A and B are shown apart, each in its own frame.
Chain A
Amino acid sequence: MTARATEDQELVNRYLSGDVAAFTELMSAHEDRVFGICLRMLRDREAALDATQETFLTVFRKANRFGGRSAFSTWLYRVAVNTCYDALRRTRRRPTDPLPEHTDPADPSSEDGFASADVRPAIEDALAALPMEFRAAVTIVDLEGLALQTAAEMLGVPVGTVKSRVFRGRKLLAEQLGNLSPDAGLPRDEP
């Protein structure tokens, strides 16, 4: 068990013992990464904030049932991914709901690149074009930097499947980035 995992387990125990400070420490350790996963999967800042909140509510409410079979972070991120899948499924089921027409951040201060580097439009659009399973794998492994084994546990698939999705996802991403480039679709000058 890693130092982070051990520390998380201790924080969960403290939280269950009524130590509110442990809540803050767990949030500080994981809230950005959960939000990052949700933002890249959902492509909408408001939806990502909602999913982040729902994820932490689920995890803190069920913390007393966390069995410790895997790292707390793996469990947390898996709940985040599932929450995002659920949000996407709800969106698909309710086609009359208007889809966001823009991705302006809900909080204007988040436009500050230092305080909150938002998803760059080009890669955001390219990611959006990827099938969900590829988008999730690229987001978790390449953008969030989580280990392949952790990603496999989060997604509930073998490590080899994660690798394949990441590699193929990158290829699709490159194709999309090419299609989205300003020069795409324009006739090239003949030499």
Chain B
Amino acid sequence: MNDHDLALIAQLADGTIDPKDEPAARALLESSGEARAEYDAQLTALAAIRAAGPALLSPVERSALRESLITQLGLETAPEPQPARRRRAVPWGGLAVAAAALVGVVVLAPLLSLLSTGSDSASDTIAGALEAPAADAPAATGAGDAGLPAEERSAPAETDDQDAPLGALPAQTTAPSPAALFFDGLPYLGTIGVDELPELESELQSLSIDDASQWRLSLAGRDGAAESEAPLLDRFFARDGCAAAIPPGFAGEAVALAEVSNVTVVIYRLEPSAGAGGPVLLLVELDTCSELAGSAGGG
């Protein structure tokens, strides 16, 4: 059964079908045993779902959850009212153009070369391209946390034992780890728990990514140019909505996920097939399934 017919049958079963499509759906039911079976399956599932009822916290669990959060967030005593944080005005248009240009020159060109050739030399070029701007384009590194006060930009990643009062991030007293640098300034950590930072650091180091700031740079550059570059890249990864094929000859796993502004990215480690060189670490924007940047690795 094709997707269209399946959608008709499913929407007929759950009552969301457009009235103008209902005759077609009912005709399909009359004429096709497969459609009838699909309709019955949808009804069976919906009946079970409706019978399941809501999953609710018990009173004890609810109370414990709130008490724990209040403690960990430091809300036991009401803090002094303070004005809501306001983002500093940022010239997004100019930043986007600059970021697009930067990424186009230092990331996309060698990346496209890699996509077309898959050669080791292209991978090496990418590694160099990613490293070079980190030293001479400091302005671009701040895009991921643009609009935030300077003291926040240098704050290390939060940990569970850093329960500072609301709005007061802990002062940085030691040199941050590469992993902490990587996450510094991200609006929030989508799926990375703070307890995984050491693990991620180890992963980055095992991939010879000992200077995570280069990834921060590439993320920042991408942040301002997500829309304009997405159509240029047509390599997709089989994760969540990225339903198209994994690049031929590769297998791998997602090792980290994070949010940069409203763009979800995944750090995807690829394992080259035997005898093939190429990238071992890629950034993929999950919203569009687009590859953002690649790094030379073991190939």
Contacts and interface: CB of A to CB of B under 8 A. Distances in A.
B243 A116 contact: no
Contacts of A79: 188, 190
B146 to A, nearest CB: 12
B69 interface: yes
B158 interface: yes
A18 B42 contact: no
B136 interface: no
B94 interface: no
Interface in B63-119: 65-66, 68-70, 72-73, 75, 78-85, 87
Contacts of A4: none
A74 to B, nearest CB: 11
Interface stretch (B47-55, B215-223, B274-282): B47-55
B277 to A, nearest CB: 27
Nearest to A170: B45
B44 interface: yes
A126 B167 contact: no
Instruction: List the 7 shortest-distance A-B pairs measured between CB atoms, nearest first.
Output: A157-B241, A110-B58, A170-B45, A117-B53, A174-B41, A62-B188, A167-B10
Contacts of B287: 156
B138 interface: no
Contacts of A156: 240-241, 264, 286-287
Given A64-B167, A126-B48, A167-B42, A105 B58 contact: yes
B188 A18 contact: no
B230 interface: no
B79 A18 contact: yes
Interface range on chain B: under 10, 10 to 19, 20 to 34, or 35 or more? 35 or more
A29 interface: no
Contacts of B7: 163-164, 167
B3 interface: yes
A86 interface: yes
B181 to A, nearest CB: 18
A126 B47 CA distance: 13
Contact of B73 (A19, A57, A69, A89): A57
Contact of B51 (A17, A89, A120, A155): A120
A158 interface: yes
Given A16-B85, A143-B52, A58 B58 contact: no
Contact of A107 (B6, B58, B66, B257): B58
Nearest to B41: A174
B232 interface: no
Contact of A86 (B10, B56, B257): B257
B148 interface: yes
A142 B54 CA distance: 11
Nearest to A136: B240
Nearest to A83: B191
A82 B65 contact: no
A17 B42 contact: no
Contacts of B56: 32, 35-36, 115-117
Given A18-B78, A20-B75, A133-B240, A56 B57 contact: no
A104 to B, nearest CB: 13
Contacts of B41: 170-171, 174-175
B75 to A, nearest CB: 5
Interface in B244-269: 254, 257, 261-262, 264
5 contacts: A52-B65, A53-B65, A82-B257, A83-B191, A177-B48
